[in-house]
Structure 1
Amino acid sequence: MTTLDRPHLYLGGEWVSPASTETIAVENPATEQVLAHVPAGTAEDVDRAVAAARAAFDGWAALSFSSRAEFLGRLHAALSSRAAEIARTVGLELGAPLKIAKAVQAGLPLAVLRSYADSAASEDRVVGNSLIVHEPVGVVGAITPWNYPLHQVVAKVAAALAAGCTVVLKPSELTPLVAFLLVDAAEEAGLPPGVLNVVTGTGPVVGAAIAGHPDVDMVSFTGSTATGRAISHAAADRVAKVALELGGKSANIILEDADLVRAVKVGVGNAFLNSGQTCTAWTRMLVHRSHYDEAVSLAAKTAGGYTLGDPFDEATRLGPLVSRAQRERVLGFIDRASARLVAGGSSSPVPDQGYFVAPTVFADVDPASELAQEEIFGPVLSIIPFSSDDEAVAIANNSKYGLAGGVWGSDERALAVARRLRTGQVDVNGGAFNPLAPFGGYKQSGVGRELGEFGLAEFQQVKAIQR
């Protein structure tokens, strides 16, 4: 056992022993060494967690919105005091470079939590002779991924708690440790027992038990499209509400009147953020033919500047992938690709230890190929030429996904192209991420929205009272 071991589950406001003595090893992907062990939860543990959440629901839901917001404010303060520990923990269990761990992995969830602590209640309103009120949906099962392990937890938990729901959380078994820091902060903030419960374990065991549990009123899931489909089926059997944030294969369109240097550099940075393990990553760079060769050269040169190495070295810009299996999956896509390799590749030198993949850029990518159609989830960028705005839009929309995207060019023209993209969010000329804006996708990128008032609404039922 190590100092990072977490041998208990958090149920009903207490640290309790799990039903099984089996544990899951949490690995440091930069060193390939075991960091810690956490409980391998069971369906019995999920039953106890759901019972605790159900018992706490009436009392939590009966609080005023402002009272719940006060709890979230205290939770924010307690979590903020752990910002350095959050960054370190994510650096260890995910391999995120320190700069990214501090700014994004720790900073973003704190901003989201603050937004819910500061948010106003959904206003009741009158429509004809009806009073329209918003009420919490009930007990929420939250199943979160490994790539942004605290942000994805907070995006669900903060909105659900603000709405008046109670939560059973299953963090990813690959990066579960940072979720325990949230629990530590919740205890310090005095969150009532049973409002937040945490069961670690695998998706096929704990995730499936949550998705199919008869007393879970809603399942909120972020992860792969294939798993999202399975969760939808499990919840459908009892007609439970589902919110899904799934895969992406986002296009970054660079029009001929764009600032090419900036568009390419920001585009490469977006594609390689978090070692490419980002569902919104702009992994398809679409460039007008008039600037195509220059863009390919710029992208290859930019990729070459991404230093791989120890996540805790300030010079490191690209950390490892989360696991051996993820590395092998990404290398498989690279080795099968038939496009022109202009940077990186599976034979490029990488650190001897750790699950690293070199930043890789392909040019002349067929828009219908596997490389352009499948979510790779690694530092792999595909560059595709186009001749007109219409062709760019057609290529961008030729995807089973529709989560994010970018457009670069003169403002009005770029905005016109952005409006035509079948995707949940689009950044024009590098527009900054907005944690108050709705986040979610079209098509197989998911169902529902997270963040801000839109995320809050996902955890509410709407009631009409006629009088």
Structure 2
Amino acid sequence: MREYTKFYIGGDWVDPAESRTFDVVNPATEQVCGRVAAGSAEDVDRAVAAARAAFPAWSRTSVADRIAVLRTISERFEERRADLAAALTEEMGAPAALAGGFHCDLAAGHLATAIEVLEGFTFEELRGTTLIVREPIGVCGLITPWNWPLNQIAVKVFPALATGCTMVLKPSEQSPFSGQIFAEILAAAGVPAGVFNLVQGDGPGVGVPLSAHPDVDMVSFTGSTRAGVEVARNAAPGVKRVTQELGGKSANIVLDDADLPANVATAVATLVVNSGQTCSALSRMLIPNSRMAEAIEAARQAAEAITVGDPTGDVAVGPVVSGAQFDKIQALIRKGIEEGATLVIGGPGRPAGLDTGYYVKPTVFADVTNDMTIAREEIFGPVLCILGYDDLDQAVAIANDSDYGLAGNVAGADLEQARAVARRLRAGWVGINDGFDFHCPFGGYRKSGNGREWGEFGFEDYLEIKGIPGWATAPDPGQ
């Protein structure tokens, strides 16, 4: 049983203002596996005050000094990788190989990328007689979700540190263990007191006072679109900057010239990673109608081969994070059946032999139309919808017919054709043949949010731009 009863504020582990805790449930066992202190507005006040006090000195540190701190964090991170992986498996059910692999690799990759970007980043440039200066925005409130806890902490904390900001982090109350260990890593790395602060708790107790706090200069939020709207409302009276990475219902367009069995198998295997709990999951797969029968059979075979079970073992898919998430996914699977989609494999209920734990069957629906609920709403589970198209114009129209616009993919052998289709998709990240790049900006159109994370683009939201005209003397026109 894990017990985390202190917050990290002002460089010290301190008791919360109120002696309240919340339970954390292991989704594989449905049993309480830890208790964590629940913060309040008073804790937020203390953390924000510490960040505000630390800002003047940290904002004036040199690039070299900040790089040195980030490099030390990288060393301490690798020392705690096994601890982080174990925490992820316990708190959210990530299979051991995934937790110690891609979950940790993403965070380490964002840290390495932040260092690389910082080494060459231009904070000042002269344009004519005007000096353009990029300065740290100030105190940042960072609110992160449960589904990729380390990744989402990393894409906020590391750019904030790199640009000279100070911060208060509120991890999700559903996956707080990894956030606590992350704070221990930064403390061990010698991040100056008050630069990084951690307050655990739920949205009403910590998220609301943090996003509304008058001494917080910007809020970076990742989570549901519904919660993102509330964060923006809370922040609005202070006219503070708000960046949001929210929901998605991303389309994967498989072109007619693609290796269809291989692409479908990859699409199914990728979708079920993290039990389908990925905001950018390619949950709508668009297939040429002329090849639909082939695609359905390939998807059935791929889903049939996926192993589901105890995340401490050698499985591809563990449980979803909670009973509430399980119930939501089950309701949407039943809705798909009711609305006439063809259930290829999977369906309601737990996989055979798994009576305890929030396990969901890898599920594939065919004959899905874009007006069905399962094609419109973010299911956030291992559920793939297959839709058909007759030509590329129709495929693009279907892909773009969504309230969301976070991600997408185009799969095909003709690179020029794939590029042309990718340009037409209204989404923030559009891969070609599952391309991946830590320097690629990540964020969404429409209800998928605003702002961008990852790489150089992830720095921009933590910076204010100041123009100083007259900095340089205009050259004599007669010379």
User: Could you say whether these structures have the same fold, taking a TM-score greater than 0.5 normalized by the shorter chain as the test?
Assistant: yes
Task: For residue 150 of structure 1, give the secondary structure of its aligned residue in structure 2.
Answer: helix
**Greater Cα offset, 79-88 or 359-368:** 79-88
Which residue pairs with 1:424 in the alignment?
428
Match of 1:371 among 370, 374, 378: 374
Which residue pairs with 1:460 in the alignment?
463
Which residue pairs with 2:451 in the alignment?
448
- What value does the CA root-mean-square deviation take over the aligned residues? 1.0
Separation in 2, partners of 1:89, 1:32: 16
**Residues 46-98 of structure 1: per-residue CA shift (max 9 Å, x gap):** 00000000000001001012211110110111011111111111011110111
Q: Which amino acid aligns with 2:431?
A: D
Q: Who wins on radius of gyration, i.e. which is larger? A: 2
Separation in 1, partners of 2:205, 2:15: 17
Q: Which amino acid aligns with 1:447?
A: N
Q: Which amino acid aligns with 1:246?
A: L
Q: Which amino acid aligns with 2:206?
A: V
Which residue pairs with 1:357 in the alignment?
360
**Residues 227-276 of structure 1: per-residue CA shift (max 9 Å, x gap):** 11111111111110011000000000011111111210111122211100
**Residues 326-356 of structure 1: per-residue CA shift (max 9 Å, x gap):** 0000000011112110110004634111001
Contact 1:288-1:386 within 8 A present in 2 as well: yes
**Residues 290-333 of structure 1: per-residue CA shift (max 9 Å, x gap):** 1111101111111111111111111x111100000000000000
Match of 1:340 among 333, 339, 342: 342
Cα offset, 1:33, TM superposition: 1.2
**Residues 144-187 of structure 1: per-residue CA shift (max 9 Å, x gap):** 00001111001100000111100100000000111111111111
Cα offset, 1:123, TM superposition: 3.9
**Residues 410-459 of structure 1: per-residue CA shift (max 9 Å, x gap):** 2111111011000001111122x211111101111011000111001110
Q: Which amino acid aligns with 1:322?
A: V
Separation in 2, partners of 1:260, 1:463: 51
Cα offset, 1:224, TM superposition: 0.4
Which residue pairs with 1:170 in the alignment?
170
Separation in 1, partners of 2:459, 2:370: 37
Which residue pairs with 2:305 in the alignment?
305
Separation in 1, partners of 2:154, 2:378: 24
Which residue pairs with 2:229 in the alignment?
229
Which residue pairs with 1:46 in the alignment?
44
User: Matches of residues 304-323 of structure 1 in structure 2 within 5 Å?
Assistant: 304-314=304-314, 316-323=315-322
Task: For residue 384 of structure 1, give the secondary structure of its aligned residue in structure 2.
Answer: strand
Corresponding position: 1:324 with 2:333: no
Which residue pairs with 2:398 in the alignment?
395
Q: Which segments of 5 or more consecutive residues in structure 2 lack a partner in the other structure? A: 471-479
Match of 1:112 among 110, 116, 127: 110
Task: For residue 370 of structure 2, give the secondary structure of its aligned residue in structure 1.
Answer: coil
Provide the aligned length of Structure 1 versus Structure 2.
463
Q: Which amino acid aligns with 2:66?
A: R
TM-score if structure 1 supplies the norm length? Answer: 0.98
TM-score if structure 2 supplies the norm length? Answer: 0.95
Separation in 2, partners of 1:66, 1:228: 35
Task: For residue 230 of structure 2, give the secondary structure of its aligned residue in structure 1.
Answer: helix
Task: For residue 281 of structure 1, give the secondary structure of its aligned residue in structure 2.
Answer: coil
Contact 2:349-2:360 within 8 A present in 1 as well: no
**Residues 188-240 of structure 1: per-residue CA shift (max 9 Å, x gap):** 11110000100000012200011100000000000000111111111111110
